[in-house]
Chain A
Amino acid sequence: MIFSTLEHILTHISFSIVSIVITTHLITFLVDEIIKLYDSSEKGIIMTFFCITGLLVTRWIYSGHFPLSNLYESLIFLSWSFSLIHIVPYFKKNQNFLSTIIGPSAIFTQGFATSGLLTEIHESTILVPALQSEWLIMHVSMMILGYAALLCGSLLSVALLVIAVRKNRKFFFTSNHLLNLNGSFFFGEIEYMNERSNVLQNTSFFSPKNYYRSQFIQQLDYWSYRVISLGFIFLTIGILSGAVWANEAWGSYWSWDPKETWAFITWIVFSIYLHTRTNIKWKGTNSAIVASIGFLIIWICYFGVNLLGIGLHSYGSFTLTSN
């Protein structure tokens, strides 16, 4: 009884904190840059991280198994992964606009999980025999971490596309303006010149606003690349550990189960992304398009397949009941 109330409290605390964080971010971006608010929102996400960790640990102790056995628990784990991804660059003292992406993502995930749509799977349940294995921890946690990182990275790419498209609509000049920036530390200038060969680029008119916008785009591009690379590693390990587990449990390391197949499709789409980045002409906007497609594919893989409720991964299935 204690555990379930504790769970309840922690869920609601984390939900409220993330809502506050999002509000402060909106204020910072739309109204005015208040550094103190920014700092407090950073600390807010750290507190959310600890709350969700507490939530997961409580569930673990209460049910006796690692809290990853159904869709609800995997959603909580997903919001935990989001807050984890936020914290890592924070401790490396990097400038962090990941939190603008992570905050709303975490809140949507958390909100959906705790909403009335999924009440029937809130309770901790027992593990069916097929899930009683050590591989459960490794496989599912790697997959969820991979999803979280890939979602962040592809959202950053979506943001990049939005800004790039808006920029090109505003500055529709055809003059070929060469930039002459000497002795610069930042790699962005060189990329700015390369940008002209990009598909969506229409050669822009040089102005300070445009320059900073390009810098921002380069930053987004770089961060999206690094986060997606990290997510790709997690996804690879997750898929492969799932295959080994399947071989131990069901005798076949790959049985073209819908969830497996869609995870493989996600893997292929992001490896297409990584390959488009090797070509200098395709870097930037084109790879961002691929990453945005990847965003949709991840949701199909994670949710869409579960809605069907068939196949070996039916533990995650649910029916949307309106309560």
Chain B
Amino acid sequence: MTLDGAPALSQAAEEGGSAGDRSVPVKPPPPPPSKRSGLGLLKGLPRRVLSVLSNLPLAITEMFAVAALMALGTIIDQGEAPDYYFQKYPEDNPVFGFFTWRWVLTLGFDRMFSSPVFLGTLALLGASLIACTYTTQIPVVKVAKRWSFLHSEAIRRQEYSDTLPRASLQDLGIILVGAGYEVFLKGPSLYAFKGLAGRFAPIGVHLALLLVMAGGTLSATGSFKGSVTVPQGLNFVIGDVLGPSGFLSTPSESFNTEVHVNRFYMDYYDSGEVSQFYSDLSLFDLNGKEVMRETISVNHPLRYGGITIYQTDWSLSALQVMKDDEGPYNLAMAPLKINGDKKLYGTFLPVGDANSPDVKGISMLARDLQSIVLYDQEGKFAGVRRPNSKLPIDIDGFKIVVIDAIGSTGLDIKTDPGVPIVYAGFGALMLTTCISFLSHSQIWALQDGTTLVIGGKTNRAKGEFPEEMNRLLDQVPEIVESSSSTQSDSFSG
């Protein structure tokens, strides 16, 4: 099909341009010398910029820089007040001899992941990705699709080559088909390949990365977020609690929805630890009609009109108590100690004159909605009551009944237009990364009389390829002259 010149050309271009064996990036043709000055320089600029950006060592340096900046971002405490950095990196005693707070604040390292330095490096990496995909990898598509039959010298020069003295091309072709290769026969020549997707997949990886970056940029500039703590029984309007994140954020119609917390409750393990938080929410539109009612929990958010409501936090809002059958009094609870999910809230029921300076009263502490611990006026432990039991307790002569513990739910609300794009990028990235594990194997063969000359190469699985080839060639039947029938002895190479 093709002449002697063609194999060398396609192979050389393959070596130069393939994603797997790039030794030198494909150089764009230099601008013609007659148009050197002025306009000519400008015309050649995009090409030169492209060739600079698609340089591999530059890309590796950029990746390394991004990694180093991120590492720095985890070491330096983020988001603190400037005073913190004055203390931690003082000028009169600099870390490593030179690193003071000036470095941190001028370069924006206190908000590293939104600082211009970091975002600029990321943008540069993105530009390199685009340039590299355009100049180096898309040509691979054209080149890798081109293939040709080889003559016997070229076949013998392959990485793996072998000769079978008494074998037929057709038998080899059948065996290769059985092993998953796509086989092409023309006259005495054979070409087979497998795993071509593995050569294209790196392009997919780069494109998926670009998609993720685009979606991430949209998320950073176009989303709304906010959080709110709502006691059970109260409402809030979604638009009131959301704040924009960037210049592309535009509010939508569903921002007018009102959310009503019907109930907030928790499930417990037998040991008393919290197993899950639940909020029963109702959504009402502008006309007061209920458009949605759902119970959310951690890991199961509510989605409505592009807005997502997450259950992220909780607190105790108030205790409802009766004192001597008077009340019910709603006592607001204050947080005493918060340690992640372990919280302690307390409240105080004054006894006697509430305005006197050393007022005494009954203290109540609670760790969750399950049980309230009560202390008398001297601060001594008095007892434990569960809110729903309605059992009275006698403290210092007063009959106290704990009617209810009212919790507040902590909700995070978000709208993010970039999420579908980012998810698509994630899916593509996972898929293409898996596919690029495949190795592109190519095999050529030539029937020279009764001898079969075979050669092959592969781009990734270089260690296993010879064994695989040996196993395949072992299966090629040997053609024996006597009785003119093909015996299916296994060939002893």
Expressed in whole angstroms, the Cα–Cα distance for A281 and B312 within the complex equals: 52
Q: Is A61 an interface residue (CB 8 A)?
A: no
Known A250-B412, A276-B60; judge A133-B299 contact (CB<8 A): yes
Q: Which of A223, A250, A261 contacts B73 (CB 8 A)?
A: A261
Chain B residues with CB under 8 Å of A244's CB are 423, 426
Complex Cα distance, B391 from A157, in Å, reads 70
By the criterion CB–CB under 8 Å, are B466 and A187 in contact? yes
| A237 pairs with B430, CB closer than 8 A | yes
Docked-complex contact A251 and B308, CB < 8 angstroms: yes
**A280 partner residues in chain B, CB cutoff 8 A:** 21, 23
- A-B pairs with CB below 8 Å: how many? 127
Contact A132 B437 (CB under 8 A): no
A258 to B71, CA, bound (A): 9
B426–A249 contact, CB under 8 A? no
- A307, B176: Cα distance in complex, Å: 54
Q: Is the CB of B430 within 8 A of A252?
A: no
Query: Which residues in A have their C-beta under 8 angstroms from that of B63?
Result: 268, 271-272, 275
Task: Type the 1/0 row for B49-92, where 1 means its CB is closer than 8 Å to any CB of A.
Answer: 00000001001100110110011011000100000000000000
Known: A249-B298, A278-B56. Contact between A258 and B434, CB under 8 A?
no
Closest to B227 in A: A251
Given known pairs A249-B298, A251-B414, A265-B67, the reply for A240 and B21 (CB within 8 Å) is no
Residues of chain B within 8 A of A271, CB atoms compared: 63
**Chain B positions 208 through 232: 1 when the CB is less than 8 Å from some CB of chain A, otherwise 0:** 0000000010000000010000000
Kindly identify which residue among B22, B71, B274 contacts A129, using a CB–CB cutoff of 8 Å. Answer: B274
Task: Tell me whether chain A's interface is mostly helix, strand or loop, or mixed.
Answer: helix
Contact with A along B233-276 (1 / 0, CB 8 A): 00000000000000000000000000000000000010101111
The answer to whether A251 touches B301, judged by C-beta atoms less than 8 angstroms apart, is yes
Asked whether B312 lies within 8 Å of A279 as measured between CB atoms, the reply is: no
Which B residues from 297 to 317 make CB contacts under 8 A with A? Answer: 297-301, 308, 310, 312
Whether A192 sits at the interface, judged by CB under 8 Å, is: no
B300 contacts which chain A residues (CB < 8 A)? 248
Contact B462 A222 (CB under 8 A): yes
Which B residue's beta carbon lies closest to that of A279?
B23
Cβ A129 vs Cβ B277 within 8 A: yes
The answer to whether B33 has its CB under 8 Å from any CB of chain A is: no
Interface string of A116-149 (1 = CB under 8 A from B): 0000000000111110110100000000000000
The size of the chain B interface, using a CB distance under 8 A, is: 60
By beta carbon, the residue of chain B nearest A273 is B60
Q: How far is the CA of A185 from the CA of B473 in the complex (A)?
A: 13
Contact of B430 among A240, A256, A314 (CB under 8 A): A240
Chain B 437-487 interface residues, beta-carbon cutoff 8 Å to A = 437, 460-466, 470
- B70-A185 in contact (CB<8A): no
Q: Complex formed: what's the CA distance from A27 to B433 in Å?
A: 40
Smallest CB–CB gap between B121 and chain A, Å?
12
Q: Is the CB of A265 within 8 A of B70?
A: yes
Residues of A within 8 A of B64 (CB): 268, 272
Q: Does B423 lie within 8 Å of A132, measured CB to CB? A: no
Q: B341 within 8 Å of A by Cβ?
A: yes
Q: Closest CB of chain B to A306's CB: distance in Å? A: 13
Taking CB atoms, residues of chain A closer than 8 Å to B271 are 126
A292 to chain B, nearest CB (A): 15
B346 within 8 A of A: no
Q: Choose one: B73, B269, B312; the contact of A126 (CB below 8 Å).
A: B269
Seed contacts A135-B299, A229-B460, A252-B414; 4 additional CB < 8 Å A-B pairs: A128-B341, A253-B419, A256-B113, A314-B340
